[in-house]
Amino acid sequence: MTSKTVAELLSQEVTLQEVTIKGWVRTFRAKRFIALNDGSTINNIQCVVDFENFDEATLKRITTGAAIHVTGDLVESQGKGQSVEIVVKTLEILGDSDPETYPIQPKKHSFEFLRENAHLRTRTNTFSAVMRLRSSLSFAVHKYFNENGFNYMHTPIITGSDAEGAGEMFKVTNLDAKNPPLNEDGFVNYKEDFFGKETNLTVSGQLEAETYAMSLGKVYTFGPTFRAENSNTSRHLAEFWMIEPEVAFMDLAGNMDLAEDFMKSVLSYVLEHNKEDLEFLDKRLADEDKTKPQAERSAMGLVEKIKFVVDNNFKRVSYTEAIDILKSSKPNKKKKFNYIIEEWGADLQSEHERFLVEKHFKCPVILFDYPANIKAFYMRLNEDGKTVRAMDILFPGIGEMVGGSQREERLDVLKEKMKALDIDEEELWWYLDLRKYGSAVHSGFGLGFERLVMFATGMSNIRDVIPFPRTPQNAEF
Ligand code: 4AD
Ligand code: MG
């Protein structure tokens, strides 16, 4: 008799056989029916206890949250909605759970409450489904790149460079807080903070990934990134995971093709492999939708939305075209898109992006060729001298999912740009070397993994798709 998971037991053909299983009690009804979950699937297995065979003291300890070990016969179930159940022969309490204090009761809890109990929230259906999907998507990411000839590269977490030039970095320091080195003006000399060098937690692995693309050809990173922006939105974290492919000899059009193919591939993977979790989340959203006024309800269900993205082409639109669309749209006084006019040269606000994807195109949109002065220094300048080969991919309900570009490969143009932005050439000597020795067209993008998980799970707050969110409010765990 081997120990099996609930997922394995539920997918088996029923033949009367003795099984053994360990898991956590979700509910115990009528001193008879245990709903047992072990995290392997959204479904519980029902364990039927003949209470006459067990002493009262043991029965009392079968409480929500308790860890138990059951052996019994797997039989066809008489109950609705389950194929098999276990008729319990032996039952061992592995770990008690005091029903008075256990925070996860068998009822609906708010996501805010569960966020405060992030160490236990994966014992609920919603969060276990979300985190299984997150795991599955991670696997699909590696699978895609592996099957397409990419090398997985680990970029440094502690770094001296600000890849984005946005100044949103967390400092890394080994300074003695009580006795820090001071500069001539009496201020702390942070230049000496990490063994004599100013360093930060990485905001992006891109610059380092470029070095490997220029030798290994096709590479990608998939790791934690940090942004010290004090933004309290449902789409920003201080610590998030980013996927960054970088490819030599690939231009912006190739970059768009890669991003689109990649996203469709990983989403198809979960459609195929996470059916039950997706169906559960789909139903959760449908139920939530029913409580909303008609106008705010979603036109498509979760699975339908994912299928739509997989089956349809992303719309490719230049920044200039997008501005024309925004300018010709009437200002909408309604709350959500209250100001949709924009002038050429301005950075798009999230309400502009939402208007474009949710109201105008109603599908994922790849915006490209942005004005040079609103984008990072490393992007390839177009022949018009004022736009760069940048692309952002915008998703309905999410906003910006991907940011990427073709990189400036011409040494003189790059140096000029760095000079204009006051970026020290000496700090990035190694980055400039790539343009000195065997330079070539190359491109890449960064995809915020949590935003992808939000799209695939229908969760509306980014704090609910990462195990232990790091935001200005959440750093407990
Ligand atoms: O647009 P970003 O800043 O681009 C880069 O960092 C480039 N160096 C990437 C590259 O070309 N290799 O960030 C990329 C993506 C965004 O589109 C967004 O999905 C996500 O990372 N992102 C965040 N996700 C969660 N919380 C935050 N604070 C995020 N900031 C960016
Ligand atoms: Mg961006």
Inter-residue contact 93 to 68 (CB < 8 Å): yes
ipTM: 0.99
Mean pLDDT of 294-306: 92
Cβ of residue 164 lying under 6 Å from some atom of ligand 1: yes
β-pairing, 218-226 vs 151-152, is parallel
Q: Are residues 154 and 240 in the same domain?
A: yes
Band of pLDDT at residue 197, cut at 50, 70 and 90: confident
Identify the CA nearest to 262 among candidates 403, 144, 367. 144
The answer to whether position 299 is within a domain reads: yes
Task: Output the pLDDT for position 14.
Answer: 66
Q: How many CB atoms lie within 10 A of CB 367?
A: 22
Task: Output the pLDDT for position 235.
Answer: 94
What is the enclosing helix (H) or strand (E) of 159? Answer: strand 158-159
Q: Are residues 150 and 270 in the same domain?
A: yes
Task: Output the pLDDT for position 334.
Answer: 59
Task: Output the pLDDT for position 259.
Answer: 98
Measure the CA–CA gap between 393 and 141, rounded to whole angstroms: 17
Q: Are residues 98 and 151 in the same domain?
A: no
The rounded percent of the chain whose pLDDT value lies above 70 is 94
Q: Are residues 249 and 390 in the same domain?
A: yes
Q: Is the pLDDT of residue 327 over 90?
A: no
223 phi/psi in degrees, rounded to 5: -160, 180
Q: Are residues 65 and 152 in the same domain?
A: no
Mean pLDDT of 309-331: 93
Band of pLDDT at residue 214, cut at 50, 70 and 90: very high
Q: What angle (nearest 5°) sits at the alpha carbon of residue 92, between those of residues 104 and 77?
A: 75
What is each CA distance from 327 to 81, 330, 332, in whole angstroms?
Answer: 54, 8, 12
Q: How many CB atoms lie within 10 A of CB 334?
A: 8
Q: Are residues 36 and 98 in the same domain?
A: yes
Task: Output the pLDDT for position 426.
Answer: 92
Whole-angstrom distance between the N-terminal and C-terminal Cα of the chain?
Answer: 39
The answer to whether position 338 is within a domain reads: no
Q: For the ranges 52-56, 135-139, 236-240, which has the lowest average pLDDT?
A: 52-56
Question: What is the Å distance from ligand 1's center to 221 Cα?
Answer: 13
Query: What is the per-residue pLDDT across 15-48, written as a single tens digit (0 to 9) for each?
Result: 768 999 999 999 999 989 999 999 999 999 999 9
Task: Output the pLDDT for position 4.
Answer: 87
Q: Are residues 150 and 230 in the same domain?
A: yes
Residue 274 is encoded by which pair of tokens? 């996470």
Question: What is the Å distance from ligand 1's center to 347 Cα?
Answer: 16
Task: Output the pLDDT for position 338.
Answer: 56
List, in order, residues 6 or more apart from 295 with CB less than 8 Å away.
none
Rounded CA Rg of the chain: 27
The answer to whether position 393 is within a domain reads: yes
Query: What is the per-residue pLDDT across 397-455, written as a single tens digit (0 to 9) for each?
Result: 999 999 999 999 999 999 999 999 999 999 899 999 999 999 999 999 999 999 999 99
Mean pLDDT of 369-393: 97
Question: What is the Å distance from ligand 1's center to 184 Cα?
Answer: 37
Q: How many CB atoms lie within 10 A of CB 108?
A: 8
What is the enclosing helix (H) or strand (E) of 64? Answer: none
Task: Output the pLDDT for position 163.
Answer: 72
The atom number, within ligand 1, closest to the CA of 209 reads 12
Q: Are residues 398 and 286 in the same domain?
A: yes
Measure the CA–CA gap between 303 and 271, rounded to whole angstroms: 8
Q: Is the pLDDT of residue 282 over 80?
A: yes
Ligand nearest to the CA of 454: 1
The answer to whether position 47 is within a domain reads: yes
Task: Output the pLDDT for position 420.
Answer: 95
Measure the CA–CA gap between 253 and 314, rounded to whole angstroms: 13
Task: Output the pLDDT for position 175.
Answer: 73
Distance of CA 263 to the CA centre of its chain: 12
Question: What is the Å distance from ligand 1's center to 7 Cα?
Answer: 36
Task: Output the pLDDT for position 176.
Answer: 77
Ligand nearest to the CA of 393: 1
Task: Output the pLDDT for position 444.
Answer: 98
Question: What is the Å distance from ligand 1's center to 329 Cα?
Answer: 28
Band of pLDDT at residue 194, cut at 50, 70 and 90: low
List, in order, residues 6 or more apart from 11 with CB less than 8 Å away.
none
Q: For the ranges 114-128, 151-165, 227-241, 334-348, which has the lowest average pLDDT?
A: 334-348
- Mean of all residue pLDDT scores within the chain: 92
Mean pLDDT of 173-182: 78
Q: Is the pLDDT of residue 191 over 80?
A: no
The answer to whether position 182 is within a domain reads: no
Cβ of residue 396 lying under 6 Å from some atom of ligand 1: no
Q: How many structural domains does the chain have?
A: 2
Task: Output the pLDDT for position 446.
Answer: 98
Q: Are residues 96 and 135 in the same domain?
A: no
Measure the CA–CA gap between 291 and 284, rounded to whole angstroms: 11
Half-sphere exposure of 248 (CA within 13 A, CB side): 19
The larger pLDDT score, comparing residue 462 to residue 51, is at 462
Q: Is the pLDDT of residue 217 over 60?
A: yes
The answer to whether position 288 is within a domain reads: yes
CATH number of the domain encompassing residue 227: 3.30.930.10
Which residue among 134, 204, 449 is best mutated to probe the pocket of ligand 1, counting the most ligand atoms within 8 A of its Cβ? 204
Take atom 30 of ligand 1 and give the residue whose Cα is closest.
Answer: 236
Inter-residue contact 210 to 444 (CB < 8 Å): yes
The rounded percent of the chain whose pLDDT value lies above 90 is 77
Query: What is the per-residue pLDDT across 239-267, written as a single tens digit (0 to 9) for each?
Result: 999 999 999 999 999 999 999 999 999 99
Measure the CA–CA gap between 304 and 309, rounded to whole angstroms: 9
Q: Is the pLDDT of residue 142 over 80?
A: yes
The answer to whether position 14 is within a domain reads: yes
The domain boundary, picked from 87, 102, 117, lies at: 102
- Rounded to the nearest 10°, the torsion over CA 11, 13, 14, 18 is -70
Band of pLDDT at residue 364, cut at 50, 70 and 90: very high
Q: Are residues 63 and 137 in the same domain?
A: no
Band of pLDDT at residue 189, cut at 50, 70 and 90: confident
Q: Is the pLDDT of residue 337 over 90?
A: no
The answer to whether position 178 is within a domain reads: no
Q: Are residues 154 and 227 in the same domain?
A: yes
Q: Are residues 91 and 131 in the same domain?
A: no
CATH number of the domain encompassing residue 25: 2.40.50.140
The domain boundary, picked from 102, 117, 136, lies at: 102
Domain with 428 in it: 125-168+203-314+363-464
Task: Output the pLDDT for position 318.
Answer: 98
